[in-house]
Every structure is written in C-alpha cells, then in structure tokens.
Amino acid sequence: MRLSMDLELQDVPGQLLLALQPFRDNKANIISVVHHRDRKTPRGMIPVRFVVEMDRSKIESVNAKLKECGISVVRAGEDRLIEAVSVVLVGHVLHSDLGDTVNRIDSTGFAEVMDVSLTMTGVDEPSSAYLKIRATGKAEIQKALAILREVGVEKKLLVIEPIEAEAV
Amino acid sequence: MRDIKVSLVGYGIVGHGVVDVLTRKKKMLKDMGLNLKLISVTDHTGTVMAEDGVDADRILGEKTLANVATTSMKGKEAISAIDSDLVIEVTPTNIVHGQPGLGHMEAALSSGKHVVTSNKGPLVVSYSRLKKLAEDNGVMMKFEATVGGTMPLISLVERTLVGNTIFGIRGIFNGTCNYILTRMTEEGIPYTHALSEAQDMGIAEADPSYDVEGVDTAGKVVILANSLFDMNIKYSDVDVTGITGVTPEALALAKKRGYAIKLIGDVPALTVRPTLVPLGSPIAVSGTLNSAAIYTDLSGTITVTGLGAGSIETASAILTDIISIYRTKQIDAIF
C-alpha cells in the first residue's frame, strides 16, 4: 500500500537520518522524500513529505517510533489517488449538468474530479472546461476517460484528452 | 549513365513544383548517373511531349497546358501511349473514389511503369490492389509525398528504422489545422477568424472542410496503417473528429496547464481528434509544420518534423522517391 506522511523536522544535523530509521525498521520501501527547506514553519521546523510503500498495519508502530525520537507527524494516510489526467471539455458544459458529469466520475469510487476551471463566453456560445481527474491507478484513469467519452457523446461535448506518452 | 524517361500527370501546384525541381536538379542527378528526361507533361487540357525532355521554360509560366499542348491526349490514354519508365501522378486528390488518379496509376503500373505520387486518394481507396499490381508487374510504387509532405516518414520507417518493430505513429499531419490552432492560441481569436486569415494567406482552401473536418489527416492515417502496419483498412475504419469545435477558451485553459491542443492522427489506434499535447513535447510544433512521433522497440521514440505542404517541398519528396527507386535497383543488381 502506498502511504504518504508529512513530518516536521528540527533544523539540526542528523534529523533526516533519524526520521528514516523507523521506516527502515518496518521494512518500508521509500518512494520519495521531499525536504521543504524553503517552507519553514513559524516554529522553525522543516516540513518533509515521505511517500512509502508499506503494510498499513505498520503505520502505528512507525508513528510511535517517530514520536519517541521527537519528530512530529503532522499527517499520515493512504495516498490513494496516485495517477492524474487533464481533460478539456467544449460544448454546453454547464447546461448539460456539469454536476452530473463530475458525479459520474466521482461515483466510481476509484476516480475523482479534483479541479474544474470553466470559461463561459456568451449564453448560447459553447463553454470550455478544464478538468483534472485523479485515480487509484493507470487502468482506472483509462476507465475514467472512457466514462467521460460516453458522457461526451451523450451530452454532445467535445472531449479533448491528453496524448499518450507511450505507444499502447 | 542511365536514361530514365519520366511522364508527369497533373499540372497543378505540385506539378509545377516537380517540373521546377527536376530542372534544377538535372546536374546533380547526372552526377549520380541518372539522366532523367521529362518526356511528357499531361493535364486535363492535353499533353506536351518532347523526346529529349520538355522545355521547362516554355511551360512553367503556363497555368494549364491549354496553350502549349502538342497533343490532345489526356489521362489513361496518354499514360498508355507514351513510352516512359516512370509516371509521376499528381492530379487532385479524391478520397471517396480515388479518381482520376486511381485510373492513372492502374494504367501506369499494369504497363510496367514505376509510379511516384503525392496523391492520397488512390492509396486510401485501394492501396492493397495497387501494391499487388506493382508487384505483379515488377515495378515500384512510391508515395512519401502523400503523408507529411517533405517530412521523411515512410522511407524513414521502411529503410532507416528497418529491423525495429514499430508500435505506433502519432502526429500532426495537416498544416492548415495546425496553423489555425496556433493562431487561435496566440491571439485568442475564434475559429472562424483564424480560418478566414488562413484562407487569405492561401494556407486554407475556399472549401476548408477537407482539412478542418479531419478528412485529410484520416486519409494519411489510412495510408500509414496500410503501408507500414499491413492493416488493410478503409477510410470508414478511422474515428474522426475535426477542429471546428475547438474554442480559443479551451486553448487558453489548456495552455495555462501546460498543454497545446493539436489535431493528432494515431496509428494503429485509427483515430483523428483534437488532443492535449504537453507544450515541451517535440511533436507540439506550431504554424504550418507537421510532426510525427514513431514509437519503436529498439530505437525508442523518434520524432520528425517538417513542412507538410508546398509546391517545391512536395516535389522534393517526389524527387527522393524517384532516386530511391533507381538506387534500390542498383543494390539489387549487386546481389
């Protein structure tokens, strides 16, 4: 399971190494560590985001160990929606019930619309919308796009999808 | 020195370019050992014939051959009657029935003449039949100029990348659409305004539907699928959406998030549709440029870009095809 944890470290040498130890002890596979030195908190702490693959049952033990070391855990949770895709819709996006369009994605349980920007020019003119969809995996992104394509046909919307980076 | 008698059929913009380029490159071709003689030029008004080569100065100033024709022979009749080694077919394209180019190519191939063409219609309508006709008659049919104009694509895949497995090709295959989308993005102007600008500049036709509805791009997808992927498909197998529905607001929203919207043709997916392309991507070219990404197993992704249309540019792709026919023959002779 992929988890993300936001920690705050003191700005003194050796803190990052200290923070890594509990992950190591619990056999977590570290995917990324982002050290936000430029975003010091008012208390002078440095936020660090860890993304790890590990068993969910180990999360409490890692948390406890980190606290023992004096490291505060701000947030720990499942990083569920790990893939994202951008889509542009053109047509009567709002009047064809944008809420319903978004709900068709959200109700899947594996994908959610995380961001919507809408531009409307005139009452009878087609409007344009940007949607960012996040999903639990690459296959789920494809499923969400397939749903959007169906909605596009039904509501007469032009669905502009991103080009695939790789050959499929 | 090898003498090659060439007939040109079709004397529009591309035909003029071919006459110009063959004249300009006469010496270079001779240095290669090819004495290319343009022994006839045919259009819908008649034919100019000259055994030692048609005088380019005499015909280049003429819009049609009506005033300079030496015989009234036209089309298939001229192709069958004139004793040439190679026919360059550049008549106007028709993607529905392929005529008149289809009849011209059949006549040329079945009488044992090589064919080089920029005409998409006949290949879209009956590629496999034409290919078989060429094989049965021991001649070659080359058509680099039909896809991406001067941008090397078919020969790149067939020769340079030979040995690779090609997973797919995606790209911008229509300069008119790319110009319109580029201008809409740059200036925030609506589609109709960008289209009329393109028409004024001679980039779009008076009837632009062939380009903007994606028909032209889909024709190229059919040619690539049949010639490079052995797919044996028809035009109706391609799922086509043009650019007429794209708004300047959609382009602006996409740009803000780091994307351009381009009309992308995709083989083997067999789709033509407006698509989000990351702004830094090598295929996200602007203006009238074409581009193609070729996905391979051994060489990774190869991207090419170049001018997709234009008289001299198209003629340059035709010239390359002519030379490659005779070079291949030389290689064959060694073995």
CATH number at residue A27: 3.30.70.260
Domain range holding A48? 2-78
Does domain B2-148+311-334 fall under CATH 3.40.50.720? My reply is yes
- In this prediction, residue A60 has a pLDDT band, given cuts at 50, 70 and 90, of confident
pLDDT value of residue B245:
95
Which of these three, A78, A98, A120, is where a domain ends?
A: A78
* Same domain assignment for residues A89 and A147: yes
State pLDDT tens for residues A125-158. Answer: 899 999 999 998 888 999 999 999 999 999 999 9
- In this prediction, residue B335 has a pLDDT band, given cuts at 50, 70 and 90, of low
- In this prediction, residue B97 has a pLDDT band, given cuts at 50, 70 and 90, of very high
Where in the sequence of chain B do the CATH 3.40.50.720 domains occur?
Answer: 2-148+311-334
Contacts of A168 in chain B (CB under 8 A): 168, 269
pLDDT value of residue A79:
66
**What is the CATH classification number for the domain harbouring A103?**
3.30.70.2690
Does B275 score more than 70 pLDDT?
yes
Does B332 score more than 70 pLDDT?
no
ipTM score here?
Answer: 0.83
The Cα–Cα gap between A2 and A79 comes to 6
Name the interface residues of A facing B (CB cutoff 8 Å).
86-88, 90-91, 117, 119, 121, 126-130, 132, 158, 160-164, 166-168
- In this prediction, residue B176 has a pLDDT band, given cuts at 50, 70 and 90, of very high
What is the residue-averaged pLDDT of chain B?
A: 94
Nearest to A165 by CA among B284, B185, B225, B199: B284
- In this prediction, residue A168 has a pLDDT band, given cuts at 50, 70 and 90, of low
- Assess whether B262 carries a catalytic annotation: no
* Same domain assignment for residues A156 and A87: yes
Where in the sequence of chain B do the CATH 3.30.360.10 domains occur?
Answer: 157-307
Does B333 score more than 70 pLDDT?
no
The residue among B192, B272, B276, B294 with the most chain A CBs within 10 A of its CB, best to mutate, is B276
Query: Is the pLDDT higher at B195 or at B330?
Result: B195
pLDDT value of residue B329:
61
In this prediction, residues B42-62 reach a mean pLDDT of 94
pLDDT value of residue B324:
92
Overall domain count for chain A:
2
The Cα–Cα gap between B310 and B313 comes to 5
pLDDT value of residue A167:
56
State pLDDT tens for residues B67-83. Answer: 999 999 999 999 999 99
Name the residue among B170, B247, B257 with its Cβ closest to that of A163: B170
pLDDT value of residue B334:
59
Which of these three, A35, A60, A78, is where a domain ends?
A: A78
The Cα–Cα gap between A38 and B322 comes to 62
Q: Which of B220, B255, B256, B262 is labelled catalytic?
A: B220
What's the whole-model pTM score? 0.84
What is the residue-averaged pLDDT of chain A?
A: 88
φ/ψ (deg, to 5) at B230: 50, 45
Name the residue among A91, A130, A163 with its Cβ closest to that of B264: A163
Which stretch of A2-11, A105-114, B2-11, B232-241 has the lowest confidence by average pLDDT? A2-11
Fold designation for B157-307: Dihydrodipicolinate Reductase; domain 2 (3.30.360)
- H/E element holding A63? helix A59-68
Task: Give how far A20 is from chain B: nearest CA, Å.
Answer: 35
